[in-house]
Structure 1
Amino acid sequence: MVKELHKCGYGNLRVIPSISPNGLAWRCEFIDQKKQNDFIASTWIESKMVENYKVEMKLSPQELADLFIKENINFLEHCKEKNEEYEHWYGQMVDSLTEKELPYAFDYGEYFYPTDYWLTTKNKKIVKLLNGN
């Protein structure tokens, strides 16, 4: 969905994925590049699943992005602008994931030290951009 939002001109939309303290849930927060506004995306996505009786998400990434724009335009206005470096990195990162593999910047269950990489649920390292994003 974020790749589609980037294509729609929301290039300053950043993603901060994490693992819950008990390790049973993946969380995703959106922030704008200036880190002044945030949005708990995983809660929003879960609400869409509840509306559909907690079945597997049937919306395509584009359909989900269109719905997100419709319901959250106030947040997205802070993300409006191209950011080719981040968009390229994010697109490559997403494309490198395998089915059911999720990235995370940190694990709430462990003491977190900032690193120059994210991990995935399949223990793969994803190198972050040099500017820390």
Structure 2
Amino acid sequence: MVKELHKRGYGNLRVIPFISPTGLTWRCELIDIKKQNETLAASRWIESKRNGNMQVEINLSPKELADLFIKENIDFLEPCKGKSDEYEKWYSQMVENLTENELPHAFDTSDYFFPTDYWLTTENKKINTLPEG
């Protein structure tokens, strides 16, 4: 969905993926690089589409999810408009290199932060980050 949002001009939107303290769930925050103190819990937003039922599968395409996300979160997204070619290219390649059930995470919330030059995946692969992290 974020890759689709980047295509639609929200290039200042960044992803902060992480593992919950229990290690049982993957979470994702979205942040506008211009207003780094404002985040949106994308994983909670996605869960809200399941109406609290973890067994419900979301069958929307990334484009359909992006349409719905824009509709429901336009106030958060508007300041994210802009272009960030280097990040957008990195993010797109990173997503394309993930396997079907593999998720990236910048850190886990058990107080362990990875070095800023890479993230890990749920398959324990390293993803090199951009120089600014």
Same-fold call, TM > 0.5? yes
SS of the residue 1:90 aligns to: helix
Report matched runs for 1:55-94 at 5 Å.
55-94=56-95
Q: Does 1:38 align with 2:35?
A: no
Q: Which runs of 5+ in 2 are unaligned?
A: none
| C-alpha distance in 1 between matches for 2:90 and 2:114 | 22
Task: Indicate if the aligned counterparts of 1:37 and 1:78 stay in contact, CA closer than 8 A.
Answer: no
Structure 1 residues 52 and 62: CA distance shift in structure 2, 3 A: farther
- Partner letter of residue 103 of structure 2? L
Structure with more strand by fraction: 2
What's the counterpart of residue 103 of structure 1? 104
SS of the residue 1:31 aligns to: strand
What is the TM-score with the length of structure 2 in the denominator? Answer: 0.93
Task: Indicate if the aligned counterparts of 2:29 and 2:41 stay in contact, CA closer than 8 A.
Answer: yes
Task: Indicate if the aligned counterparts of 2:13 and 2:80 stay in contact, CA closer than 8 A.
Answer: yes
Q: CA deviation at 1:33?
A: 1.1
What's the counterpart of residue 119 of structure 2? 118
Deviations, residues 54-97 of structure 1 (Å, cap 9, x unaligned): 42110000000000000000000110011111100000000000
SS of the residue 1:68 aligns to: helix
Figure out how many residues of one structure are paired with residues of the other and give that number: 132
What is the TM-score with the length of structure 1 in the denominator? Answer: 0.93
Identity of aligned residues (%): 69
Q: Which runs of 5+ in 1 are unaligned?
A: none
| C-alpha distance in 2 between matches for 1:112 and 1:66 | 33
